[in-house]
């Protein structure tokens, strides 16, 4: 069964600190893995897209890693800001079926 | 370039009523999809379309109909609303449903069925 699991479910950090969010996926045949940021009351916005051949991809203070062997991905946020408070969603995409498999997200709260 | 637009933003329905959620995109994307988002669950695919005239079911299609008469529009119809359909609905579009193309989401429609 294709699925994506994320941890932790929620996280609170101090402004300026770093954090890492985790994603385990079982999507086959695997095409690519994405991280989205979803602000409260808004639609998800893409942060990174990685294929199986890419180990790391950065978008500003966001760095995603992918280990295709262990089927794990992480999203590292550097020097967090209050505006980073949001839900971060990991999504696995299969090569077949035009379907996207969404994790339940990690709710990140950055406090002053 | 408005991206993906959805109307209405909020809607309250009574059980048994029908309605259509509108979705439009101006990026000439072939792939469009509808998701619902419920607390504690990931986004779940309702229906998707890979081009005008072509639609297919996703994970949770029951109670919903779609059509794709133009590239730009992909409306979602609730045939007879039920309280279980209370949710936030997102429309999304992408150049393709496979490969590494960006997927763009609309702002969502918050639906309450009483």
Q: Examine residue B21 and say whether the peptide bond preceding it is cis (omega within 30 degrees of 0).
A: no
For residues B46 and A32, what is the distance between their CA atoms, to the nearest angstrom? 21
* Alpha-carbon gap: A11 to the closest alpha carbon of chain B (Å): 15
Token pair, residue B46, equals 């309702």
Is B43 an 8 Å CB contact of chain A?
yes
Partnered with residue A25 across adjacent β-strands are A4
Per-residue pLDDT tens digits for A86-97: 999 999 988 876
Tens of pLDDT along chain A (112 residues)? Answer: 889 999 999 999 999 999 999 999 998 888 899 999 999 999 999 999 998 888 999 999 999 999 989 999 999 999 999 999 999 999 998 887 667 899 999 999 999 9
Is B56 an 8 Å CB contact of chain A?
yes
What's the average pLDDT block by block, 10 residues per block, for chain B (114 residues)? 92 97 97 94 93 93 97 97 97 85 94 97
Choose among A38, A61, A51: nearest CA to A92: A51
Q: Which of B43, B50, B100 lies nearest to residue A102, judging by beta carbons?
A: B43
Alpha helices in chain B (DSSP H): none
**E strand map for B8-108:** 10-13, 19-25, 31-37, 44-51, 54-57, 64-66, 76-78, 87-94, 103-105
Query: Hey, is B103 helix, strand or coil?
Result: strand
For residues A78 and A100, what is the distance between their CA atoms, to the nearest angstrom? 27
Question: What is residue B80's DSSP assignment?
Answer: S
For residues A105 and B39, what is the distance between their CA atoms, to the nearest angstrom? 11
Cβ distance A46 to B90 less than 8 Å, yes or no, reads no
């Amino acid at each position: 069964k294709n699925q994506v699991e994320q941890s932790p479910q929620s996280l609170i950090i101090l402004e300026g600190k770093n954090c890492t969010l985790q994603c385990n996926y079982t999507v086959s045949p695997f095409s690519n893995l994405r991280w989205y940021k979803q602000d409260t009351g808004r639609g998800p916005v893409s942060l990174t897209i990685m294929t199986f051949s890419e180990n790391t991809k950065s978008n500003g203070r966001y760095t995603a890693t992918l280990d295709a062997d262990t089927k794990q991905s992480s999203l590292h946020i550097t020097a967090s800001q209050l505006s980073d408070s949001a839900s971060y969603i990991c999504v696995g995409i299969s090569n077949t079926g035009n379907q996207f498999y969404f994790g339940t997200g990690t709710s990140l709260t950055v406090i002053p | 370039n408005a991206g993906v637009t959805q109307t209405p933003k909020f809607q309250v329905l009574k059980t048994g009523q029908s309605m259509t959620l509108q979705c439009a995109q101006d990026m000439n994307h072939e792939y469009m999809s509808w998701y619902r988002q419920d607390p504690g669950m990931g986004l779940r695919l309702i229906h998707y379309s890979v081009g005008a005239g072509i639609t297919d079911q996703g994970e949770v299609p029951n109670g919903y109909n779609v059509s794709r008469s133009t590239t730009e529009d992909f409306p979602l119809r609730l045939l007879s609303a039920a309280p279980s359909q209370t949710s936030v609905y997102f429309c999304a579009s992408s150049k393709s449903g496979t490969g590494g193309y960006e997927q763009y989401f609309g702002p969502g429609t918050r639906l309450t069925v009483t």
